[in-house]
């Protein structure tokens, strides 16, 4: 995605932050905070500080801060919604406060309570919210690049059609977040980050299309991969692939049946239930046990190659065939070629499952 208009050079970044520390900037900052708390429109507060400059021709579409106007002690804004670089500490904003359609790029908030407020279509690139309460905040149509939510409460927020690209949610609680149409890329998490295993599919009257579930679970999985938190990686990989099978592969197969599509769906189903998509070696052990039991029942009915035809003998033959790839102490005579083929198929199944188990277990041991 194009970052033009969302991120600025270092000189501009310094001005954006320092302007709020000037004498005039401090007074305007206090007016803005009180205005937000009392329902006063920020545009009215900033109206007298909008810069008139020949280079300031399209401040909304292509914001540019003229370098020759960046005096050390000057305060001015580019537009009526320009709160870039603002820094606010330990403030509580009532839920009727509106930050909607504001530019909060490079802003910093610490220990603030925004619960229930409106940040719809708000620019948040490079903004930082640390130890803030953002529960049930509406971020619809907003977000940005490099946004940092550190040790904050974002439970039940609406992130509909918003972006969190190269963002950081370390230590934050995002359970219940609504992600319809959201774009999540390269997000940073840690052990304290709390995310849903079952995504929230509803917000007010809206419902998220189920074909988006796999993409959001993938974003979570990739984030945990980058953090090398492998237990959570396995959880989200399993959920992601299951969602892909249920909500993408199966509907495609129903809409237009094909042998290739059916094979993809069946193989995905078997790999999921049999191995947890390569994340659960215990399922492979269970699968091997079930295969051996089924073959032992068949051998008991059809007759095993030994003298003792009791079920225990058939069970022994089945397990040794499965585990030793057919080189046990019992085998069918040459004239019983059909039974030889069947026992060979069990040996082949054993070879596949044992190899898969070794691979899955080795992958988990190496990573952990």
Q: How far apart are CA 338 and CA 320, in angstroms?
A: 19
Domain containing 341 equals 281-367
* Per-residue pLDDT, 60: 79
Chosen domain end from 191, 208, 225: 208
DSSP strand pairing (206-207 vs 202-203): antiparallel
- For the chain, which residues score pLDDT lower than 70? 1-6, 325-329, 368
- Coil, helix or strand for 143? strand
pLDDT at site 5: 54
Per-residue pLDDT, 55: 76
Tell me, yes or no, whether 261 lies in a domain.
no
In a domain, 152, yes or no: yes
CATH assignment of the domain containing 307: 1.10.287.70
Q: Are 153 and 173 in contact (CB under 8 A)?
A: yes
Q: Would you say 106 and 127 are in contact if contact means Cβ atoms under 8 Å apart?
A: yes
pLDDT at 1: 42
Helix (H, G, I), strand (E, B) or coil at 319: helix
Q: What is the CATH number of the domain that holds 104?
A: 2.160.20
Q: Is residue 127 part of a domain?
A: yes
Give the end of a domain, one of 208, 227, 254. 208
**What is the model's pLDDT at position 326?**
58
- The Cα–Cα gap between 163 and 142 comes to 7
- Is 294 within the bounds of a domain? yes
What lies within 8 Å, CB to CB, of 103 at 6+ separation is: 63, 79, 81, 82, 83, 84, 122, 123
Whether residue 203 is found in the same domain as residue 301: no
Number of domains into which the chain is organized = 2
* 190 shares a domain with 305: no
Convert 331-363 to b/e letters by CB count within 10 Å (16 or more is b).
bbeeeeeebbebbeebbebbeebeebbeebeee
pLDDT at 147: 97
pTM: 0.85
- Residue 336: which residues within 8 A CB-CB, separation 6 or more? 305
Q: Pick from 208, 223, 251: which residue ends a domain? A: 208
Query: How far apart are the two ends of the chain, measured CA to CA in Å?
Result: 34
Residue 270 domain-assigned?
no
Residue 250 belongs to some domain of the structure: no
């Amino acid at each position: 995605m194009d970052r033009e208009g969302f991120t600025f050079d270092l000189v501009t970044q310094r001005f954006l932050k320092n302007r709020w520390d000037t004498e005039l900037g401090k007074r305007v900052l206090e007016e803005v905070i009180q205005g937000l708390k009392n329902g006063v429109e920020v545009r009215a507060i900033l109206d007298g500080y909008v810069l008139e400059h020949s280079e300031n021709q399209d401040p909304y579409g292509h914001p540019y801060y003229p370098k020759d106007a960046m005096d050390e002690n000057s305060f001015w804004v580019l537009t009526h919604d320009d709160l870039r670089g603002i820094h606010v500490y330990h403030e509580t904003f009532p839920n009727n406060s509106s930050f909607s359609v504001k530019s909060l790029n490079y802003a910093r908030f610490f220990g603030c309570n925004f619960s229930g407020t409106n940040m719809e279509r708000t620019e948040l690139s490079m903004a930082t919210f640390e130890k803030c309460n953002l529960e049930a905040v509406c971020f619809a149509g907003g977000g940005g690049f490099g946004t940092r939510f550190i040790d904050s409460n974002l439970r039940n927020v609406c992130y509909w059609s918003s972006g969190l690209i190269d963002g950081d949610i370390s230590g934050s609680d995002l359970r219940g977040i609504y992600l319809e149409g959201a774009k999540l890329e390269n997000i940073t998490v840690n052990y304290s980050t709390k995310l849903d295993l079952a995504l929230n599919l509803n917000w007010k009257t809206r419902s998220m299309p189920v074909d988006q579930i796999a993409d959001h679970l993938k974003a979570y999985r990739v984030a945990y991969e980058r953090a090398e938190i492998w237990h959570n990686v396995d959880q989200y990989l399993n959920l992601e692939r299951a969602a892909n099978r249920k909500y993408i592969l199966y509907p495609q197969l129903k809409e237009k049946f094909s042998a290739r599509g059916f094979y993809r769906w069946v193989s995905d189903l078997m790999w999921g239930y049999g191995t947890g998509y390569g994340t659960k070696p215990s399922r492979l052990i269970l699968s091997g046990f079930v295969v051996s039991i089924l073959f032992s029942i068949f051998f008991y009915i059809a007759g095993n190659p030994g003298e003792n035809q009791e079920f225990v003998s058939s069970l022994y033959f089945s397990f040794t065939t499965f585990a030793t790839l057919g080189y046990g102490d019992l085998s069918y005579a040459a004239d019983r070629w059909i039974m030889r083929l069947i026992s060979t198929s069990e040996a082949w199944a054993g070879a596949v499952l044992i190899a898969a188990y070794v691979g899955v277990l080795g992958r988990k041991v190496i990573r952990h």
